[in-house]
Structure 1
């Protein structure tokens, strides 16, 4: 396992999409901060689903969200235009093989065949949406990212069992929206 590379890469790798939208790298969200927020959200959302009687393990959902971008510590955060030229999934699997940790969590997320993976995917999207609102609040034009992630979140909230936490997700989204003066 390349633990040091994983830890250093996650803490220092700024997410590409923000920089492509004018966010200076010194202000950029890192893979580590994104993954941390996504894992907290996954735990909260999965706990709510469990409270509603859905069979789900909140800790496992949080763990999937925590590791979902770990492959980027070796690959880098590939921009969307580059992923049309390569098989991103295969490249990420190879990166997880090199790291020696988290591959099964990554594959579970990509297959979306468990409730835990569905919540982790939603949490990944929700974290990016929330970060977009934070950047918008300080004056950056990231409306395209915010709207595209809002659409993805809406689609995810139409599937079982995520549709049962639509109200909670909407409250989370609106809580930051209210802080935005624009």
Structure 2
């Protein structure tokens, strides 16, 4: 039986820290970020189905979100100002990400590769699911800026404005619903969010 390094690599996502050029009050690694994105993406899919006539599988969306940054275990987390500096760099980085995705899939025993291809390879994920996961990713970045600013870190004020602009690209009914219903709590303290409704 062959040995697979896939999950040993996935485990190292906890060693890759996000916001590498920013001073953060609470460090955030890619593994915990992926968990948060998965929970938000799951809820966005549920909202879309229940409120706006969608027909998504929320559990599948959540698993895609869990793996959405898997390639960063090989590439690291390139800061957004560099990654999106211009279209040429953005396209080149997408190619690098896809090569890393293919490398990760190749680490799996062959009989399981087709199961992971539609979870990890961005080219194999439907545009609708990609958009939901990206919207969740952006929401989680926005939440991070709220948390950092609330803790007195003004370095995240510009990032918050940039993410607000990015959010416009992924504007949808389910995103707006999530923002209206769930986001206000992130500005409250523990006593305030622990109160019964």
State TM-score, norm by structure 2: 0.75
**Using a 3 Å threshold, how does the CA distance of structure 1 residues 108 and 60 change in structure 2: closer, same or farther?**
farther
**Using a 3 Å threshold, how does the CA distance of structure 1 residues 36 and 132 change in structure 2: closer, same or farther?**
same
Alignment of 1:67-82 (within 5 A): 67-82=67-82
Distance 2:123 2:145 in 1: 23
Structure 1 residue 7 and structure 2 residue 6: aligned? no
Stretches of structure 2 lacking an aligned partner (at least 5 in a row): 109-115, 190-197
C-alpha RMSD of the superposition: 2.4
1:80 positional shift: 2.9
**Using a 3 Å threshold, how does the CA distance of structure 1 residues 108 and 76 change in structure 2: closer, same or farther?**
closer
The count of residues paired between Structure 1 and Structure 2 equals: 169
**Using a 3 Å threshold, how does the CA distance of structure 1 residues 20 and 103 change in structure 2: closer, same or farther?**
farther
**Using a 3 Å threshold, how does the CA distance of structure 1 residues 30 and 109 change in structure 2: closer, same or farther?**
farther
Residue of structure 2 in register with 1:122 after alignment: 135
Alignment of 1:1-182 (within 5 A): 1-2=4-5, 3-8=7-12, 10-15=13-18, 17=19, 19-23=20-24, 27-52=26-51, 53-83=53-83, 84=86, 85=89, 87-100=92-105, 102-108=116-122, 113-114=127-128, 116-141=129-154, 142-157=156-171, 162-179=172-189
Q: Give the secondary structure class of the aligned counterpart of 1:11.
A: helix
Structure possessing the higher radius of gyration over alpha carbons:
2
State TM-score, norm by structure 1: 0.81
1:91 positional shift: 0.7
Distance 2:126 2:183 in 1: 23
Distance 1:80 1:165 in 2: 22
Q: Give the secondary structure class of the aligned counterpart of 1:69.
A: coil
1:11 positional shift: 1.0
Distance 1:110 1:90 in 2: 14
